[in-house]
Amino acid sequence: MANLRERSSPWKTCILDHLGAWDEDGEALLTGPDLVQQTTEKVKLIQDRLKASQSRQKSYADKRRKPLEFAVGDHVFLRVTPTTGVERALRAKKLSPKKYVPDPSHVLEVEDIQVREDLSMEVQPVRVNENQTKWRNGRNVRLVKVVWDERTSDSNWEVADEMRSSYPHLFTEENEFTLEDALERNENTDAAP
């Protein structure tokens, strides 16, 4: 038993010392004031051993700790804690509730969306905003800027001939253009500073 005490940790030693006060049947050998006195002595012994263990660990940590010195121009990494605020008791509020102010513009209208059997949908263009001519593959190609969604202003440039064949209702007389108009418009934008 003594050999085990020499090789074991303070916790095991405390447990072995405490087990000595009990019979093999599990019944206490002492009763009354003697039991209280022996229990307080054991608690005091445990506290002393914990203090010794803590001071030993502190001395190990203190040996590794070095004072930090920085010079001007040194790169330093700072640890930033992910907190939204600190309460009076210095407890971090990481999951603090966010405030929401209701606004009628946040309400989205429910739209009837046509979905295919494979759960895909075809987005229809809304209108043609602009047009221009680009030099691609050795020839002039007419492009139109097509708006796909009014709310988000989602738009992109598409080839005019392909869009005219797929969506002829977008090309009315007022947004119709000729190749000469587009070339003239491009020359004006290129010449502008």
Is there a domain that residue 27 lies in?
Answer: yes
* Residue 111 within any structural domain of the chain: no
Cα(159)–Cα(152) distance, integer angstroms:
22
CA distance 168 to 72: 68
In degrees and rounded to multiples of 5, residue 56 shows phi and psi of: -65, -45
Bridge partners (DSSP) of residue 22 are 28
- CA count, 13 A, side-chain hemisphere, 185: 13
Return the pLDDT at 192. 46
Residue that the structure tokens 């020359």 belong to: 187
Q: Is 90 contained in some domain?
A: no
Q: What is the pLDDT of residue 9?
A: 57
How many structural domains is the chain composed of? Answer: 2
Q: Does residue 136 sit within a domain?
A: yes
In this structure, is residue 124 part of a structural domain?
yes
Judge whether 84 lies within some domain. no
Domain termination site, one of 64, 80, 105: 64
pLDDT of the residue at 83 = 59
Answer with the one of 38, 64, 90 that is the final residue of a domain: 64
Distance CA 94, CA 81 (A): 10
Residues 6 or more apart whose CB falls under 8 angstroms from that of 8 comprise 16
Q: Is the pTM of this model over 0.75?
A: no
**Would residue 79 count as lying in a domain?**
no
Range of the domain at 183: 120-191
Q: Which long-range contacts (CB under 8 A, 24 or more apart) does 169-177 make?
A: 170/125, 170/127, 170/128, 170/146, 171/128, 175/127, 175/128, 175/131, 177/131, 177/142
Helix-then-strand count for the chain, H and E: 5, 3
**Is 107 a domain residue?**
no
Q: Of 48, 64, 80, which residue is a domain's last?
A: 64
Q: Render each residue's pLDDT in the chain as its tens digit; 193 residues.
A: 444 445 555 555 555 555 555 455 555 455 678 888 889 999 999 999 999 999 999 999 888 888 888 888 888 887 776 655 555 555 555 666 566 777 888 887 777 777 778 877 777 888 888 888 888 888 888 888 888 887 787 888 988 888 888 888 877 765 555 545 555 555 555 544 4
